[in-house]
Structure 1
């Protein structure tokens, strides 16, 4: 049994050191509760503070970006090592060109196993200042509950079925999703669906009120038991600050994945060519400028 802890807590705007302190405290508390894996909301390092529009302040915001070997991440590596827990902290990452929205995967020994960069940016907002990632890959990490094949997507990524499916195709058993948005009922249905359709567990960590509305959640993806529909929701938090824990039965999930009709085993990839076309066809009745024909 793997215990997942979701940090549904407030972060300080543009104050990395304060957020490191709060983050280490949350990891320590999670370890005391028996957690094997701790997941933070999106851009925890800067409290998901928006990129300012004026040039001078924009550069100051960009200067908050860090490299993968920065002491800020080192603080999470230390707390992971000290308590034997895996941790997924989130941060503004320094790139060769620009900055990205990133999540680090740190195993229970404190080793940095991978860094994921958000692919689907909300570039209709201030996130246009970010550099997008270029793919989805799962990684096998060691936890106190055993090895798990882990994938990461961030917030808006979950609104594209291809993101979770790509991770499932790479063997992800558990997909974690750092988040920073209002989780309305439709988005909660998306989360449940991503777990259901991929036969994979999905854990989402979101900010509480007043920044966002909480509802951090875990679904285990085992939608059927003994031939009958099963509620695979393990946890859904309320709107206020919390440390949300859920126990994931990895052995049961693996057994379920052997025979389920969902997931990746019954796909027909040759029929989905339009999904990978660089210029997918326009919906019928839509003209060149997007106006109805």
Structure 2
């Protein structure tokens, strides 16, 4: 049975450090308006959706830094963010949004959430685990800094997959109790049915295959990835959108799932060149749709989650082919340890 969704990446162009929050919010809602006109059911926004990517700057004023953070409980009520969720609920479109989160104890996280329009609430949260960059800025005043390690704490929520309700016309299934089951592996006849199984990651997480596999082992059918990526950073690494897309394509294939990536791109502050490359990829690693600009752009595709079965029941049937007894090094070791010299 086909399990068809119409999904979109809401790519966002340049957002400068002095950008007006309400103007940026208007742009985000305009993308949602376009999605509604095309009958899209799920829209992904980029990392740190509501502001410029502030971790490239060194802030000496705590009060100025605080203006870039949101309190999770305030997302649905703050005038700087709430109208986007209200419009999503009005249209009946689920959205995933990235933001800088400040908890009650003052901890900062690079976070994204999933808002279910049918439920009228946030149903899942992810905090970025793989923080790139440095704590201190580079000595070169012309350098492009990446200070996520200064402003954020590594995520503490792991990689929980979740089901998004009411996206499919009929997703209810009848399950049968099975005696002797361990609960570790879902019954085969139930896999690939019901509400879509989703997962979220943020920017640098996409370069770590462990993230993708963790979600795939929970049956994730669609992964959502928002990012802000500088094209050229001599102190760290040079990047281009083709490399970013290659990571997305290869991991989608190796885990038999769809993925959507949404970029914050363009020339921020007329100095910071961010790659675009927003794309929707199928379980064979093929590009279904991708951005053609470095501006605000809605990238749309219709996907059939049933296509995840091809890989999962054959080449990447984890239950039959994975050999965990051979993988201990992956979780027991952090840095590189080479064999001894001859």
Q: TM-score when scaled to structure 1? A: 0.86
Equivalent position to 1:233, from 282, 287, 292: 287
Q: Could you tell me how far apart the structure 1 residues matched to 2:266 and 2:67 are?
A: 28
Contact 2:11 2:264 in 1 (8 A): yes
Q: Structure 1 residues 195 and 185 mapped into 2: Cα distance closer, same or farther (>3 Å)?
A: same
Structure having the larger proportion of residues in helix: 1
- 1:142-291 to 2 correspondences below 5 Å: 142-146=165-169, 147-181=195-229, 182=231, 183-210=240-267, 211-221=273-283, 223=284, 232-241=286-295, 242-253=297-308, 255-262=309-316, 264-265=318-319, 266-277=321-332, 279=334, 282-284=337-339
After superposition, the CA RMSD in angstroms is 2.3
Q: Which residue number in structure 1 is paired with residue 111 of structure 2? A: 102
Contact 1:105 1:113 in 2 (8 A): yes
Contact 2:212 2:255 in 1 (8 A): yes
Contact 2:47 2:202 in 1 (8 A): yes
Contact 1:208 1:239 in 2 (8 A): no
SS at match of 1:132: coil
Q: Which residue number in structure 2 is paired with residue 74 of structure 1? A: 82
Q: Report whether the alignment pairs 1:119 with 2:129.
A: yes
Greater relative CO (CA pairs within 8 A, separation 6+)? 2
Q: Which residue number in structure 2 is paired with residue 49 of structure 1? A: 54
Contact 2:312 2:318 in 1 (8 A): no
Q: Could you tell me how far apart the structure 2 residues matched to 1:263 and 1:178 are?
A: 28
Q: Structure 1 residues 94 and 81 mapped into 2: Cα distance closer, same or farther (>3 Å)?
A: same
Contact 1:119 1:157 in 2 (8 A): yes
Q: Could you tell me how far apart the structure 2 residues matched to 1:114 and 1:238 are?
A: 30
Q: Which residue number in structure 2 is paired with residue 132 of structure 1? A: 154
Counting matched residue pairs gives 277
Q: Could you tell me how far apart the structure 2 residues matched to 1:160 and 1:74 are?
A: 32
Contact 2:228 2:265 in 1 (8 A): no
Q: Could you tell me how far apart the structure 2 residues matched to 1:263 and 1:20 are?
A: 43
Contact 1:8 1:207 in 2 (8 A): yes
* Runs of 4+ residues over 6 Å off in structure 1: none
SS at match of 1:55: coil
Pick the structure with greater CA Rg: 2
Of 82-91 and 123-132, more deviation after overlay is shown by 123-132
Q: Report whether the alignment pairs 1:9 with 2:12.
A: yes
Distance apart, 1:237 and its partner CA? 1.7
Q: Which residue number in structure 2 is paired with residue 34 of structure 1? A: 39
